[in-house]
Structure 1
Amino acid sequence: MSVVLSTAPLSVSDRAEFWQDAVSRTFVPLDVELHEDEPATATILSRRMGFMQVSTVTAGPQTVARRPRMIARDGKETVTLTLMRRGVAERSQDGRDAVVHPGQFALSDSRRPFDKALRQAFNLTSFHFPRSALKVSDLELRAVTATSFGWDEPLSALLAGHLKRLDSSAEAVAPTQGDRLATVTCDLLACLIQERHGRLAPQEPAAVQAMLLRVKEYMVRNLADPDLSLVEIASAHQVSLRYLHKLFETEGVTAARWIQQQRLERCRKELARTTSQAPTVTVVAHSWGFANASHFSRVFRLAYGISPREFQATARRHSR
């Protein structure tokens, strides 16, 4: 369900205070300064996509800042990826400055101060999620905040295209698919961050890295398919099975094992849910491509040292 916050019904004199509150409630507490004598109408349209919030913001010129006192007070640990659609954003964090143009995106980390200046009317979409969902180190994340990403590199272009598709289809995404799409987004972003930080085999040619990342994205998008095979993956990317295996040599794990690890991690997350509608072990296994529940239990125990049923029961006990 969408949530719309708009200054349209308000008088011009009341809009600044309302907008300050709307922005802080949607994202994290922020200082907002409007740069119009008579603030124009501004709106925020927010939708949930699993653990990720997708918010489209349309407004006039303004400056937004996250101050140390706010960080100390609320302690929120979130990451926001902002895709510019119209207008230009000037961002600052961790000693860097970046100018973000339409079609480009940038990151901010709520745990440290940042500034964002929008000097003209703008339209943007923000993807807002818990820091814990992004599996990168603090050092890696800190190295790419206030950095402009766009269509000039293979992986950032891949992620930019994915974000545009998410933005246009967020309203139509079924609640049951939200967490999966949010996870795919965080996985792609983690790959981009690690590549920029130099962990993805920097000695390899760029074309090889780009192919590996495209293959991984395909695998992640099709994890739920129990018939997903290496032959199919190789065929979909017009490479030989031997070349596919060679791509994963730098990963320290086989392609098949990489798929299994991704499936197991997503099953673990679903089994950790403590709501009354938490799915059964068999349902979770089948939903992430494990056709055989007994096989799933064996590989889960090998990976985590505990059976999936014991893991789920422990999570529920801790929640109570």
Structure 2
Amino acid sequence: MDLVYDSCLLPAREQGTWWSDVALASLLSTHVRPEQSTAFPVRVTALSLGEVLVNAVSRPPETAVRTAALINRSDPETYQLELITSGRKLLAQAQQSCELEPGHLVLYSSSHPLQSRSGPAQSSGGHATSIIAHVPRHMLPLPSRHATDLLATPLQSARGPGLLLAQMLRGLAQGGGATTTPDRARLGGVLIDLVGVVLAHQLDQDTSQAASQEQILSLRVHTYIRRNLSRPDLTPTDIAAAHQISVRSLQRLLRAEGTTVTRLIRGQRLERAAQALADPRLARIPVHAVGARWGFPRAADFSRAFRCAYGVPPGEYRLRARTGADSQLPGADG
């Protein structure tokens, strides 16, 4: 992992104030208050896995608050999946709260106000450490209305898929930095899929409720669509058949989420195409080939759909990304 922050490089009396300023200025802007006025040694390392970022964090006791005002100012639209490796953490979000100990996994969101306190297991001395995976919301196969039910709730991590996820996070923190760039992108995809399995398993714990079954089905449908976006022949009939439901049931499921099968597939395909166009590593791939890769075999159809969603044709979008005009890059119209 690469070193991102280390307050020990500063004089002890400046460390707490510096860390508060860093947290407030970050993309995931948060009000942080150190709970000790003396030295405040914080260390953060990071590993980039394509669009997924994994951090390992060590810090003395602190409280953190992410308010609605801070969310309005900056929201990366990510989910955070945190593994507590030492110490304790109290977390509250979306009218739910939990107390976490080493080995616990927890999910929270950048888009909801949050309160937390991290500290050592004992009342004095020591650090709290954790490993945090930051996953873009659009990449996680979990509709936001279902994700809310899992926020600030301990996830099963002692066995099953939760244990596998915890082991993967520990492995990445300990030796993931030795992997190559292509390997990192692949590992990011594996991590996202494993997170999806863990969340599906959590939803599956209460099988007696019809709502839980609907959540599980929705998660599986979203996962299936994400894995098959590159198929130009992907249809509602295929998706329904893969899940042994009728097309009408599939349409009703997605309508409850405020979308349709066609809109969901097209939106996700265009998001993936936009990401590919902005990726400098894919600059040699022709625009029409990017469209074909993400389910638009006809260049004219891809250009028309992309312009409708992003306001500019795909070639211009790529040019703006290539010239470094990130702030000028338009977003999808939702």
Q: Judging changes above 3 Å, is the alpha-carbon distance between structure 1 residues 57 and 99 closer, same or farther for their aligned structure 2 residues?
A: same
Identity %: 18
Q: How many residues align?
A: 255
Question: How many Å separate the matches in 1 of 2:186 and 2:243?
Answer: 23
Matches within 5 A, 1:188-267: 188-198=194-204, 251-252=243-244
Which residue of structure 2 lines up, in the alignment, with residue 149 of structure 1? 155
Which residue of structure 2 lines up, in the alignment, with residue 246 of structure 1? none
CA RMSD of aligned residues (A): 3.8
Which residue of structure 1 lines up, in the alignment, with residue 315 of structure 2? 317
Q: Does the 8 A contact of 1:86 with 1:122 survive in 2?
A: yes
Letter in 1 for 2:18: F
Question: How many Å separate the matches in 2 of 1:187 and 1:114?
Answer: 26
Which residue of structure 2 lines up, in the alignment, with residue 6 of structure 1? 6
Q: Judging changes above 3 Å, is the alpha-carbon distance between structure 1 residues 70 and 271 closer, same or farther for their aligned structure 2 residues?
A: closer
Letter in 2 for 1:6: D
Which of 177, 183, 190 is 2:189 aligned to?
183
Gaps of 5+ in 1: 204-208, 224-248, 254-264, 286-296
Deviations 1:119-163 (A, max 9, x none): 322111111132111121111110111011243452222322222
Q: Judging changes above 3 Å, is the alpha-carbon distance between structure 1 residues 65 and 175 closer, same or farther for their aligned structure 2 residues?
A: same
Q: Does the 8 A contact of 2:46 with 2:53 survive in 1?
A: yes
Pair 1:307-2:297 in alignment: yes
Q: Does the 8 A contact of 1:5 with 1:22 survive in 2?
A: no
Q: Does the 8 A contact of 1:91 with 1:116 survive in 2?
A: yes
Matches within 5 A, 1:1-320: 2-25=2-25, 28-120=28-120, 121-198=127-204, 251-252=243-244, 269=272, 273-275=276-278, 276-278=280-282, 280=285, 304=295, 306-307=296-297, 316-317=314-315, 319=317, 320=319
Shift of 1:270: 6.8
Q: Does the 8 A contact of 2:27 with 2:74 survive in 1?
A: no
How does the TM-score come out when normalised to structure 1? Answer: 0.67
Q: Does the 8 A contact of 1:32 with 1:65 survive in 2?
A: yes
Q: Does the 8 A contact of 2:71 with 2:110 survive in 1?
A: yes
Question: How many Å separate the matches in 2 of 1:146 and 1:194?
Answer: 16
Shift of 1:30: 0.3
Q: Does the 8 A contact of 2:16 with 2:40 survive in 1?
A: no
Question: How many Å separate the matches in 1 of 2:180 and 2:206?
Answer: 33
Question: Secondary structure, in 3 states, of the residue corresponding to 2:44?
Answer: strand
How does the TM-score come out when normalised to structure 2? Answer: 0.64
Question: How many Å separate the matches in 1 of 2:64 and 2:195?
Answer: 24
Question: Secondary structure, in 3 states, of the residue corresponding to 1:165?
Answer: helix
